[in-house]
Amino acid sequence: MNYIVLDLEWNQASDSKTKEENQLIFEIIEIGAVKLNEEKKQIASFHELIKPQVFHRMHQITGELIHLKMEQLENCRTFKEVVKDFLEWCGEDYVFCTWGNLDLLELQRNMDYYEMKPLSDRPLKYYDVQKLFSIAYEDKKSRRTLEYAIDYLEIEKDIAFHRADSDAYYTAKVLERFYHPAIFHNYSFDTYRLPKTRADEVHVVFDDYEKYISRAFPDKLTAMDDKEVVSTRCFICGANTKKKIPWFSMNGKHYYAVVTCEKHGLLKGKIRMRKSIDDNIYVVKTMKQVTEETVQELISRKEQSRENRKDKRKKTK
Ligand SMILES: [Zn+2]
């Protein structure tokens, strides 16, 4: 399997009238990619500018950032032509790798706009190299700029940042440096397309937690009524668990539960309510083993939030 390290640059409306007139928010104007083989050696690259069809003026910030002028794009090929060739260049057996989680979203949005065949009919597995960098070198939660990572790894900065070809090249450089193979267990899912049916839903077990991505629901209540969404089976042995703290929410967006598996002890579930591109609700649930201390912390946060709500009610009366 090859790694396709992808970077896109996009333009946007430069005034509110143009913005209102168009359903596309970001128009892709450049594709850069580097292909790495199984051993993570660079074997090919792809780079092409794209002729704009939606926004014909360069947004000021975009222009300053990527140093591109409209005149440079006018004689280029259209998005459809370039992407068709790009996907052919990708080949059959590959996984996308991007810095952050935006490029695949915008690529699919632009492909939809031109009514192209979808990249995938379900959540798309990929590597977020920005996230992998944090897992490999920092605290798993931080999200750094690409230039920060390049400086951190003392990689030579021989070309300017913020162009699709150079950013793809630098992202590939970061990817090459992950020496621990286990880092590649941490793939992500792009949820531009959600699972259509219950059978298509995503269940993955990572090194120390389980992730579940649901299909779409019309609203939160319907989602919380679904037995798979609220299921708290043990992700290690599959056994049913005993509820210690049933699902509750402090802000209506995140829900927590604590359960006990006879064999594997305390498990914490977290449900995040997310909005799909067509304004439905879907659920990302994680389950992981926790200590008694973490559970106590959660209980006191729950009580604190209940107190806060009581106070608020008193004040508004
Ligand atoms: Zn278990």
Cα 216 to middle of ligand 1, angstroms: 28
| Model pTM score | 0.88
Where along the chain do the CATH 3.30.420.10 domains lie? Answer: 2-185
CB 175 within 8 A of CB 129: yes
Give residues with Cβ within 8 angstroms of 69, minimum separation 6.
58, 63
Distance CA 35, CA 38 (A): 10
List, in sequence order, every residue forming a beta bridge with 7; answer none if it has no partner: 32
Residues 6 or more apart whose CB falls under 8 angstroms from that of 39 comprise none
Q: Which tokens hold the place of 25?
A: 């928010």
Beta-carbon contacts of 201 under 8 Å, excluding residues fewer than 6 positions away, are 195, 212, 213, 214, 215, 228
Q: What is the rounded distance in angstroms from the CA atom of residue 113 to the CA atom of residue 272?
A: 28
Contacts for 135 with CB less than 8 Å, ≥ 6 apart: 183, 186
Helix residue spans in 16-163 (DSSP H): 16-21, 60-66, 70-73, 79-90, 103-113, 129-137, 146-152
Structure tokens at 313: 């009610």
The environment of the single-atom ion ligand 1, i.e. residues with CB closer than 5 A, is 234, 236-237, 239, 261, 263-264
CA 1 to chain centre: 21
Contact (Cβ atoms closer than 8 angstroms) between residue 104 and residue 124? yes
CATH architecture of 2-185: 2-Layer Sandwich (3.30)
Instruction: Please state, in angstroms and as integers, the Cα–Cα distance from residue 209 to each residue in 20, 38, 196, 212, following that order.
Output: 43, 26, 24, 10
- 266 CA → ligand 1 middle, Å: 9
In the reported structure, the alpha carbon of residue 172 is separated from the centroid of ligand 1 by a whole-number distance in angstroms of 38
List the chain residues with pLDDT less than 50. Answer: none
Q: How far is the CA of 134 from the centre of ligand 1 (A)?
A: 29
pLDDT at 117: 95
pLDDT recorded at residue 317: 59
